[in-house]
Amino acid sequence: MSKEISNDTIDKFEKDLNNHPIFNVASHAAQENGIFKASQNLQTKIDLDPTFSIEIETGKPADQKQSGRCWMFSALNTMRHPLQKKFSLKDFELSQNYTNFWDKFEKSNWFFENVIATADKDLGDRKVAFLFTTPQQDGGQWDMLCGIIEKYGIVPKSVYPETANATNSSALNDTLNTLLRKDGLELRKLVNDGKSEDEVQARKEEMLNDVFRVLAISLGVPPKKFNFEYTDDDHNYHIDKDITPKEFFDKYVGMNLEDHISTINAPTADKPFHKVFSVEYLGNVEGGRQVRHLNLKVDEMKDLIIKQLKSGEVVWFGSNVVKDSERRAGLLDTNLYRRDQLFDVDFTMSKADMLDSGESMMDHAMVITGVDIVDGKPTRWKIENSWGEKPGFKGYFVMSDKWFDSFVYQAVINKKFLPDDLKKAYDEGKEDPIQLLPWDPMGALAFE
């Protein structure tokens, strides 16, 4: 058969189209309303009623606005919920801008160090090109946030509030990446010209000084000490003077970050279950925490999440939120849009095939705060988002269990909930994790 598309083939397709029973109705609906509206399944709104048998009250959702800091907002949400309860501080927030400042500063140094390490490779090398494509960005992973807090601590939002460049980050990212690319090329030249390590590091420090200035002007200078002053929900006044960000985290948050590990569900042939993985070039703090993932079966992940929810602890998780979702209504369901019925075409792909082909990858982090269990099985999950109170149910979303199966890739679990065999698997693999390539889907950053 010919490899080219002939006119006879097109005529055959048109004849098939005109004889197809759904053509007239489906084309009118799709052309008038768009594919998603035309294929929307209204039964989803009934099935995803926001009622849950296990539910943790967490208060008013935060709002990341026009920035890609969902991973940061979600992680800090898991930390502020116990603080709110313990100290009677309704709607209290930790400073997302503080961790944002240090994340961008550390990512800049991380980029410089990787550029130095790959200076012997051609600019056209895929890994070098990968580094220069996006020197830094808003997105990140749980372990990266932990690395920042372990080094710099955390502060209340009232002490280091949001700025215009934090809430709408495109101009800052563009400015910083221009600077980093320029400096990165200079560092490569210094290395290739035979400059000593001390000379290269000295020039890098001068470059980091420029980065610090850009961040300080755009986001503000982070505090080294501050007074934590507040009135609790019972109208009692409190003040804690001259406290450092690390002291604040230890005293008011008190979470043992080492106890919380990243688990993933990646059912691809190259990732055996119960093995620990890391991703090349993925990180932010040099000398800090390494990004590590323990690969679990999806039902194992669900069981651990449910155990954690039952204990009263919410769960940070990563997913592909743009797939089969309705932002305004706050619904996440694989049956939300029936494009198969609209077009009479089979779109079915396995989770492994979606990951291997680039059809799906993690793009957003949120917090699981509840689950509805019927006959011992989860049917839907309550989700705290970081898009403010307008979307969904006052900022909360409802996720079907089938959507979980298809599009949830990561969950942070307290190690105390892991059975002994999984604890052993993590402990044995964490020191020398299997390295994945920089562009592996498990290296995707949460940013939506």
Residues 6+ apart with CB under 8 A from 289: 143, 144, 146, 147, 150
For residue 27, count CB atoms less than 10 angstroms from its CB and return exposed for 0-12, middle for 13-18, buried for 19 or more. Answer: middle
Per-residue pLDDT band for 276 (boundaries 50, 70, 90) equals very high
pLDDT class of 155 with cuts at 50, 70, 90: very high
pLDDT above 90 as % of the chain: 97
Question: For position 101, what pLDDT does the model report?
Answer: 98
Q: What average pLDDT is seen over the chain?
A: 96
Over 90: is that where the pLDDT of 4 sits?
yes
Residue 94 pLDDT exceeds 80:
yes
Q: Point out the residues that are catalytic.
A: 70, 364, 385
Contact 166, 100 (CB under 8 A): yes
**283: Cα separation from own chain's centroid:** 13
Q: What is the mean pLDDT of residues 108-121?
A: 98
Mean of pLDDT values over 146-161: 98
**CA–CA distance, 49 with 397 (Å, rounded to integer):** 10
What's the pLDDT score for residue 446? Answer: 82
What average pLDDT does range 197-224 have in this prediction? 98
Helices 170-192 and 197-219 meet at what angle, rounded to 10?
A: 170
pLDDT for res 1: 73
Residue identified by tokens 């808003």 is 138
pLDDT for position 448: 86
Q: Minimal CA–CA distance to 153: which of 282, 58, 243, 61?
A: 243
Sorted by where each starts, the structural domains of the chain and their CATH numbers stand as: 54-443 (3.90.70.10)
CB contact set of 321 (below 8 Å; sequence gap of 6+): 332, 363, 364, 366, 407, 448
- Give pLDDT tens digits for 40-85: 999 999 999 999 999 999 989 999 999 999 999 999 999 999 999 9
User: Would the pLDDT of 447 be above 90?
Assistant: no
202 sits in which H/E element: helix 197-219
**Lookup: tokens for 438:** 């920089």
Rounded mean pLDDT of 152-157? 98
Q: Is the dihedral of CA 313, 316, 319, 324 positive or negative?
A: positive
Read off the pLDDT of residues 366-377 as tens digits, 9 standing for 90 and up.
999 999 999 999
Q: Report whether pLDDT(432) > 90.
A: yes
Q: Which two tokens stand for residue 26?
A: 């489906």
In the numeric block, the tokens 């006959």 are attached to 375
Dist. CA 176–CA 170, nearest whole Å: 10
Amino acid type, 426: Y
Which CA distances in Å does 1 have to 5, 11, 15, 101? 10, 17, 20, 60
Write down how long the chain is.
Answer: 448
Evaluate if residue 152 carries a pLDDT over 90.
yes
* Half-sphere exposure at residue 227, Cβ-oriented, CA atoms within 13 angstroms: 6
Q: Which of 156, 145, 148, 157 is CA-nearest to residue 412? A: 145
C-alpha span between 325 and 49 (Å, rounded): 15
C-alpha R_g of the chain = 24
Residue 198 has pLDDT above 90, yes or no: yes
What is the pLDDT at residue 373?
Answer: 98
Task: Kindly state the average pLDDT of the residues 347-352.
Answer: 98
pLDDT digits (tens, 9 = 90+) for 417-429: 999 999 999 999 9
Please return the burial class of 363, using the count of CB atoms within 10 Å of its CB with bins 0-12, 13-18 and 19+: buried
Among the listed residues 373, 262, 393, 404, the one whose alpha carbon sits nearest the alpha carbon of residue 310: 373
What integer pLDDT is reported at residue 2 of this predicted model?
Answer: 79
The residue behind tokens 């990243």 is 262
> How much of the chain exceeds pLDDT 70, in percent?
100
pLDDT of residue 360: 97
Q: Determine if residue 92 is left, alpha or beta; phi over 0 gives left, psi from -120 to 50 gives alpha, anything else beta.
A: beta
